[in-house]
Amino acid sequence: MATVYRPTYSHGGKKKKIRKWYIRYRDHEGRLRKIPGFTDKGETQRLAAKLEHEAELIRKGLLPVVQPEQTRTLKEELQAFQNSLLSKEVSQEQVSLVAGRCERLINGCQFIYAKDIDPVQVESWLAQQRRGSGGRSKKREGISVQTSNHYLRAIKQFTRWLQRHKRLQDDPLTHLEMLNVAVDRRHDRRALTDDEVSRLLKATLQGKPIFGVSPEDRHMLYVMALSTGLRASELGSLRKESLSLDSNPPTVQVKAGYSKRRRLDILPIPTEILPAARQWLATKKDGALLWPSKWAKNRAAGKMLKQDLQAAEIEYQNADGLFADFHSLRHTYISNLARNGVPLAAAQKLARHSTPVLTAARYTHLEIADQHREVEKLPPLQLGRILGRAGVVSCPKSRPNGTDVQETDDPEKPAYSSKNQGK
């Protein structure tokens, strides 16, 4: 007879029970097995009954014997998946992020084994997370479509791995598609103006240490982000040897394990920042991280920038609802490429985007003034010559009394005439 129980642990000299229930039952070979259940006792009891029933059917020959690899729980498989990613030099931060999303989805859907993964349940759980949940005291806002896609992308990566390693015969999630993020933008960013960049860098140097990062280090952190388009996690991985300031051209190198696209990236550095970069780099030790604090690991880059923006009197969220977070520095970099006439193909390579569509659609924040300067480059339509006057166009405007206004540059000619004149 299967039993459910909650294991105990000691804390402060007292025994306490963990939140999750566990199952103890005998499989088809009579071996005692212990597997984790759910935080809900009823759900755990139903799973225990199901496992016991399946074991009985196998003993009677009514179900095929389960292969050893199929008896591994998803918790065990997820750990193997993480180890596989780490062996490919994927960063620990990225592995933890993907595995964490998979774990939350698996627990939310109450999947125990790989064979339990069901696409309908996955879609249902994601939809529920987007709707959010209400309570007596506070309603939890649902996740965005983009976050929902991140969860789906993570679990699909996991199921592909399960299929490749023979844990699944077929990938049950292969047909699930991402949702359109354009219909639910929660945190759109903006590019900083030239004036805002200048104020930010000046205010940062005059500030105090934040999260263990000195004003000088934060200043160069922002300079590098604005000059290379590197992301916070990529900047956080750089060491003194990552910068080649005396090469031709000067470059910065990001290892594959830290690059978002998982390949070695070498990017050019603008000559303008070299004097300041050399002076700053001279204060750093060989082999040491350029920004050694835990700001990158703790995802505190945005919080640091927010404080410096406040010191510079720059809005974190403007009237249009657009945000100036750390990733906005990357937006600013790519927008400045577009603003200064860099061809789209070259901008795509510098941005390290997979397609030029992403470069153009998501990151090119051209202001209306920039757009106006561009339309001024259009060839003239020669309207003055066509109309026979120096740009004067007659355009009747209706008056309430039934007369028409005639715009003219002839002082002898009436400004308007009555439709009923002479009657």
Q: Are strands 14-17 and 243-244 parallel, antiparallel or unpaired?
A: unpaired
Mean pLDDT computed over 395-415 = 45
Question: What digits encode the pLDDT tens for the residues 346-398?
Answer: 888 888 888 887 777 655 666 666 666 767 777 777 677 777 655 444 444 44
Pick from 104, 315, 75: nearest CA to 199 = 315
* pLDDT for 315 beyond 50: yes
pLDDT at 388 (0 to 100): 66
- What is the predicted pLDDT for the residue at 139? 56
How far from 165 is each of 83, 90, 103, 160, 287, CA to CA, in Å?
13, 19, 19, 9, 38
**Average pLDDT over every residue of 314-321:** 85
Q: State pLDDT tens for residues 212-260.
A: 899 999 999 999 999 999 999 899 999 999 999 999 899 999 987 777 7
Average pLDDT over residues 6-17: 84
| Token pair recorded at residue 7 | 């294991």
The reported pLDDT for the residue numbered 121 is 93
Name the more confident of 161 and 407.
161
Q: What is the pLDDT of residue 67?
A: 56
Instruction: Give residue 98's pLDDT.
Output: 95
Partners of 4 in the beta sheet? 23
Instruction: Tell me the CB-side half-sphere exposure of residue 200, using CA atoms within 13 A.
Output: 30
**20-65 residue pLDDT tens:** 889 999 988 888 988 888 888 998 998 899 888 988 988 888 877 6
Question: Where is pLDDT greater, at 388 or 402?
Answer: 388
At 111-162, the pLDDT tens digits run 988 989 999 999 999 999 988 865 444 556 788 888 999 999 999 999 999 9
- Identify the residue with better confidence: 138 or 315: 315
Both tokens of 389, joined, read 């006057």
pLDDT at 363: 58
Q: Rounded to whole angstroms, what are the CA distances from 305 to 48, 93, 196, 197?
A: 51, 21, 13, 12
Residue 1 CA to chain centroid, in angstroms? 48
Render pLDDT for 264-276 as a digit per residue (tens, 0 to 9).
889 999 999 999 9
- In this predicted structure, what is the pLDDT of residue 400? 46
Residue of 421 and 189 predicted with greater confidence: 189
- The pLDDT tens digits for 55-108 are 898 888 887 765 555 568 899 999 999 999 988 878 788 899 999 999 999 999
Domains of the chain plus CATH, in order, are 3-66 (no CATH), 74-183 (1.10.150), 194-372 (1.10.443.10), 383-418 (no CATH)
Look at residues 94, 154, 101, 104 and name the one whose alpha carbon lies nearest to residue 297: 94
Residue 371 is predicted with a pLDDT of: 64
| pLDDT of 202 above 90 | yes
Asked whether the predicted pLDDT for residue 320 surpasses 60, the reply is yes
